[in-house]
Structure 1
Amino acid sequence: MSRHVVAAVGEIPLNGSRKVTVKGREIAIFHVAGEYFALTDRCPHEGGSLCAGRLIGLVRSQEPGRYDYSRPNEMLQCSWHGWEFDIRTGQSYCDPDSIRARTYEVKVEPGEALAKGPFVAETFPVSVEGEYIVVEV
């Protein structure tokens, strides 16, 4: 797997999101409580944008009229039909046995770590023939 820098810390507001494209894939990045999470931007239900969805908490009930609210902003509600996904695992809460949004590993790294080499520039042989410059690729 290859690594890609997608944003600087601070560019995605707390409890906010940003859509990025990496190798042709649209990925939604979320910032929740100082952590970052990445999921495919396409809802597996019918293709709605997950980045445009709403971050909510987990609500459970053991009996009628009593609700337990936990995990604030860790559940993602699809912008089209409201299907809910756990941003940590991608698990669907509408169909947990068979539907999951793809997740990607996210790391925060200091800029100096990204700048360390060794870097190798790609080179191409160049020659001059008469009045023309020729590059071989």
Structure 2
Amino acid sequence: MQKYVVATADEIPPGQRKIIKIAGKSIGIFNINGEFFAIRNRCPHGGAPLCEGVLSGFVQSPVPGEYTYTRKGEIIRCPWHQWEFDVKTGQSWVDPVKTRVRSYEAKIEQGCSLVNPAEIELEKGPFAAETFSVSLDKDYVVLEI
């Protein structure tokens, strides 16, 4: 699988999303309470840009007159036909057995783990330059496709 650095961790605040294009695919990256999830930005029902839809949750009611709002920000609603999908798994709530949207693994990695200087092969040239130590101190959202 190929790894792609798609954002710094602080670039997508909790409750927000970023839509990117990788390898010809439009993908939405979501931050749900500090965890990152990625789904294809294409509704399997009608081809709509799914990740541009409304993020919501569920209303649950054990008895009439009592209700609770759960899973806030974990359900994406298709902007065209209002089909709902779980951002964490891609599962459809309209037809959970047959319909789902493709999900991808998104995780946080430290910048220094993304580049291994020992793996970089350099050819020694005739000139010498003054060098400085450089380090990466941010965490990055990495998507594997």
TM-score normalized with structure 1 length: 0.80
Matched, 1:109 2:109: yes
Q: Which has the higher contact order (CA 8 A, sep 6+)?
A: 2
Aligned letter for 1:74? E
Larger Rg: 1
Structure 1 residues 26, 119: closer, same or farther in 2, change over 3 A? farther
User: 2:97 & 2:79 partners in 1: Cα distance?
Assistant: 22
Deviation, 1:115, is 1.7
Deviation, 1:11, is 1.4
Alignment RMSD (CA, Å): 1.7
Mapping 1:44-55, distance limit 5 Å:
44-55=44-55
TM-score normalized with structure 2 length: 0.76
Task: Name structure 2 gaps, 5 residues minimum.
Answer: 123-145
User: 1:5 & 1:119 partners in 2: Cα distance?
Assistant: 18
Q: Percent identity?
A: 45
Matched, 1:88 2:88: yes
Higher helix share: 2
User: 1:98 & 1:66 partners in 2: Cα distance?
Assistant: 32
Secondary structure at 1:108's aligned position in 2? strand
User: 1:101 & 1:62 partners in 2: Cα distance?
Assistant: 29
Deviation, 1:64, is 4.1
After alignment, is 25-34 or 6-15 more displaced? 6-15
Runs of 4 or more above 3 Å deviation: 61-66
Deviation, 1:63, is 4.2
Where does residue 22 of structure 1 map in the other structure?
Answer: 22
Structure 1 residues 60, 40: closer, same or farther in 2, change over 3 A? same
Secondary structure at 2:112's aligned position in 1? helix
